Amino acid sequence: MKKRNNPLLYPLSWLYGLGVGLRNFLFNQGVLKQQSYPIPLICVGNIIVGGTGKTPHVELLISILREHRRIAVISRGYKRKSRGLREVTLASTADEVGDEPKQIKQKYPEVRFIVDGNRRRAMDYLLALPEVERPEVVLLDDGFQHRYVHPSFSILLIDAQRELHEDELLPLGGLREPATARYRADCIILTKCPHDMRPITLRIMQRNLALYPHQRIFFSRIDYQRPRAVRTLLGEAMPSLPQDAQVIALSGIASPQLFLAHIEEHYTLLDSLIYPDHHHFRPKDFATLIERWRELLHRHLGTPLYIICTEKDAVRLTDSLTELPQELVEHLYYLPIETQILYHPQEFHSMICKAANSLPRSLQTQGRAPLK
């Protein structure tokens, strides 16, 4: 996020930093208490406002651990319309639990997913489950600032296009905490690295972070998979998207630049509809989409016209497909994404497996086979 030039924001940013600094000081001194639990807790979070790729990285951790451990994920369920603790099911809507929890549950139905702004209450709920259902490792989604729960391992995500030393605290810049908060993390991942990023650039970014020797650093990028029809999320069989398709891009994510660039590279992009992150599509949005689709369809003399949205948008749209014409729904696709760790993926895999065994010493030998 670029620095805002309004001079009134400087004192506001200073006051905000004073409040954040006091809160962290109270936690560091033990005045505000952190709760520890006899179970590995891996936290994935950031200190920058906007998208750093938390959900794809949580999915990456699940893919590493799912064959060896019962996993639970705790999230606040950002922008959901419900309150309190909710367990996510395959029948849950994005309005009830949030789009990202629903997305992860659809991909990994065996993972228990709890949404609750009170992480301690969510942990108490999980630990009260019968032993055969109780998770063996918990992933805390966006829990870096929620310091009342003490993780056994913390992963901090930083957008490679928005380095910390170039940013300022809210509201002047985009930092939720001072850049020194990075020293609380066990591992830092610089995300959204371009495919053509040179090794010397990575070394400069690593030097700018000036991490402690015990902190690990990795680099990741988003890899887009072949588009899939949104109706496949409902279990329907649908044809593949033609390689020479003409498309409208539809996005409701924080940073759509990579999404749009991928579409422009592989398809004929005729138009785009861009909305804010976690946007709840309303009837007027559907009316705009239908009008734009029909207008372009007529302009191109009936040539097939497709709509490609992001994976997160697809999850929200599955709750509202009945509000769209059947013909449009049949031409509605999304881009699945995967996160790739660059250069040392096996080291990252080993680190996560070790973190999934990071219990208090008195519990480490109670029947838990180490991950490999």
CATH 3.40.50.300 given to domain 33-223+340-361:
yes
Q: What is the spatial distance between Cα 353 and Cα 362, in angstroms, rounded to a whole number? A: 19
Tell me the average confidence (pLDDT) per consecutive run of 10 residues in the chain, 372 residues long. Answer: 74 94 94 93 92 92 95 94 95 94 95 96 97 96 91 94 86 92 96 86 90 95 94 92 93 91 95 93 95 92 90 93 94 95 95 85 48 56
Q: What is the spatial distance between Cα 195 and Cα 198, in angstroms, rounded to a whole number? A: 9
Q: What is the spatial distance between Cα 331 and Cα 301, in angstroms, rounded to a whole number? A: 16
What is the structure's pLDDT at 365?
A: 45
> Which residue intervals of the chain are DSSP H helices?
9-28, 54-65, 94-97, 99-107, 119-127, 199-209, 257-266, 283-299, 311-317, 326-329, 345-355
CATH architecture assignment, domain 228-335: 3-Layer(aba) Sandwich (3.40)
Q: What is the spatial distance between Cα 240 and Cα 221, in angstroms, rounded to a whole number? A: 25
What is the structure's pLDDT at 243?
A: 86
Q: What is the spatial distance between Cα 1 and Cα 162, in angstroms, rounded to a whole number? A: 7
What is the structure's pLDDT at 1?
A: 56
The distance in angstroms from the start CA to the end CA of the chain is: 39
What is the structure's pLDDT at 104?
A: 96
Rg from Cα positions in the chain: 22
130 SS3 class: coil
- CA 46 distance to own-chain centroid: 10
Question: What is the torsion angle, in degrees rounded to the nearest 10, for the CA atoms of residue 61, residue 85, residue 184 and residue 63?
Answer: 0
CATH 3.40.50.300 domain extents, the chain: 33-223+340-361
